[in-house]
Amino acid sequence: VEDMKVCGGALALLRSHCSRLAGWTPCQVSRRNNSSHESSDSPRVLITGGLGQLGVGLAQMLRCVMSSTSSLLRQEQYGKNNVILSDIKRPPAEVFNMGPFVYADVLDYKNLRELVVNNRITWMVHYSALLSAVGEANVTLARTINITGLHNVLDLALENCLRLFVPSTIGAFGPSSPRDPAPDLCIQRPRTIYGVSKVHGELMGEYLHHKYGLDFRCLRYPGVISATTKPGGGTTDYAVQIFHDAVSSGHYECYLRPQTRLPMMHISDCHRATVEFMQAPECQLSLRTYNIAAISFTPEEVAAEIRKHVPHLRITYKPDPVRQNIADSWPMRFDDSNARRDWGWRPAYGLPELVTDMLNRVRNKRTNAGQPVS
């Protein structure tokens, strides 16, 4: 009887999606058939939006990680060929030479489906999205990429029994949410299309998990700080640009007020949290969406820490109304106690460690490129 209920639900959804999901079977939407994800076989991973801030680093980490099985913990490579980056842009030579790269447009369902089937994908990491400030400048495009693209990925994950990771964000909260700290479960009324699309993704993934058994996993990322990629239009990007300007010119003009506190995280912690969460046995997860936290600081606090290494750094403030309003609606800190309890999350980088690492990486990058260092 239960199988008939699941099948009936799938058929109802099939009718709404016409022929697109004609390959669904009760087996593919039954929670009892997720055991394939727990096998000792290495996962086959497809990363969408792979040329953004997070994709390349995650691919590198996934290609050589500590992998746990039901019976033992062992060091193994998932393998260069088992982790496939994708995007709609041409990759730099160094990225192309690291491992497989394919063209993938998240708005082209047929293209995505062929990639999943032809490459025997079992895990998908969906990074394609327009970020907060860029999304507000082009709401229609953000809605299309962030919501329509998400639905394509959700449908493919259901059709092919994939383990699906979709990141969320501090932007999923709004001015009526608790801000210090923001818990996993609370009122969410974001005021950006980016935040709205992320709440939609959280709820759709949880719905499909409970109704059809989709192995959906989501982490709310804080601001992610990295020296390897350029800022991508997010409200927290000041915390990346300040390091580049400190090393190149010794002066940074900040678009947020000096006391604007936001949660942040070193990109290595972000990647490690994602891998650990994807590897966690499903029985350990009490939620499908978790906050993860590391540090929280203001522009003036990070500037003060940078001055310990770059004493001549000068910072001026010219608040941008759009980004300041966005930041004022976001949490100042995350409560990530559930992630720490359920699957053992612990950050490695505090503010001093983050600043030291970022300055070293930015200096080395500029030196290697023959650029002056302040």
Catalytic residue positions, numbered:
194
DSSP string, 268-317: HHHHHHHHHHHHS-GGG-S-SEEE---EEE-HHHHHHHHHTT-TT-EEEE
Instruction: Please say whether the beta carbons of 76 and 117 come within 8 A.
Output: no
- Distance from C-alpha of 162 to C-alpha of 150, rounded to nearest angstrom: 14
φ, ψ dihedrals at 110, nearest 5°: -60, -45
DSSP 111-132: HHHHHHHHTT--EEEE-----H
For tokens 């058939």, the residue is 33
Residue type, 262: L
Burial pattern 53-84, b for ≥16 Cβ within 10 A else e, equals: bbbbbbbbbbbebebeeeeeeeeeebeeebbb
- By the 10 Å C-beta count (0-12 exposed, 13-18 middle, 19+ buried), 229 is classed as middle
Closest CA to 50 of 148, 129, 115: 129
What 3-state DSSP class applies to 220?
Answer: strand
Nearest to 170 by CA among 258, 266, 269, 265: 265
Q: Which two tokens stand for residue 104?
A: 């993938």
Q: Which two tokens stand for residue 222?
A: 């804080």
